[in-house]
Amino acid sequence: MSRPATALRALAASLALGPCALAALAEKTDKDKPTHIEANRMSSDDARRLSIFEGNVVLTKGTIWVRADRIVVRQDAEGFQLATATGKPVRFRQRADPKGDKEGVWTEGEALRVEIDDRKETIELFDRARVVRDQDEVRGEYIFLDQRSEFFSVSAAKGAPPTSPEGRVRAVIQPKTKPEADKPAAPAATPGAR
C-alpha cells in the first residue's frame, strides 16, 4: 500500500476513535455533529486502538471546543473512548442543553491534564484546575465532573499546607436573579406621603 494511502487510512481510523470521547462534554445534539481536528502531527495504532494528536491541537465538534498540546484517544473493545488531553493548560468549552425556555449555559475549563471518559460520562481535571459555568467559578488541584448526574467535586492538592494557594479550594458563586414574575411587588405609595 502506498504511503499516502496508509496515512489517509490512519487519519480516518483516528477520526473514528476521537469524536465520541468528547460527547460527555456536549449538548445531546453535539454527538451527531462531525469532528474537526487540527494538529501539527498525528499517529494512529489500529492494533492498540490508539490515536495521538500533537502540537497545537484544536478539536471542535458542535459546541465542543478543546485546545491542547497533545490529545491521546484510546478505544476499548466495546467502542468507548478515553481521551487524555495535556497542555499548559488544556482549555475546553461546551454548551449544555437548554432547560425550559432558557438557552443552554456555557461551561469553560482549564487544567494541565483533562481526562474524558466516554463510558462513565465523566470529566476529570488535574493540576491547576478551573471550571466556570454561568459566571460561577471553582478552582482546585482536581475537579471531577459527572455529566449524567451533574455532580461535581473539587479537591485541593494532597499534602499542601492550608495556607498555600494549592492547599485551598476556591469558589465564586454569583447570586441568581429571579424572573420579574417571581419578584415581590414594590410597596404601594401611601396617599399624602412625601
> What pTM value is reported for the model?
0.72
Position 169 scores a pLDDT of 87
Number of residues that this document lists for the chain: 194
185 occurs within a structural domain: no
Position 191 scores a pLDDT of 54
User: Which structural domain, as residue segments, surrounds residue 158?
Assistant: 3-177
Position 53 scores a pLDDT of 97
Position 184 scores a pLDDT of 60
182 occurs within a structural domain: no
> Which residue stretches of the chain have pLDDT < 50?
1-26, 194
24 occurs within a structural domain: yes
Q: For residue 45, give the CATH number of its domain.
A: 2.60.450.10
Q: For cell 447570586, what's the residue? A: 175
Position 177 scores a pLDDT of 74
Residue-wise pLDDT tens digits, 111-142: 999 998 888 888 899 999 999 988 889 999 99
Position 56 scores a pLDDT of 96
CA distance readout (Å), 11 to 46, 51, 54: 11, 9, 13
* H or E element, residue 14: helix 3-17
70 occurs within a structural domain: yes
Position 190 scores a pLDDT of 53
| Strand bridging mode 151-155 / 81-95 | unpaired
Position 15 scores a pLDDT of 40
Judge contact between 145 and 122, C-beta under 8 A: yes
User: How many domains does the chain contain in total?
Assistant: 1
Position 130 scores a pLDDT of 94
194 occurs within a structural domain: no
Judge contact between 73 and 82, C-beta under 8 A: yes
183 occurs within a structural domain: no
190 occurs within a structural domain: no
43 occurs within a structural domain: yes
Q: What is d(CA 172, CA 106) in angstroms, rounded to the nearest whole number?
A: 16
* Residue 106 phi, psi (nearest 5): -90, 140
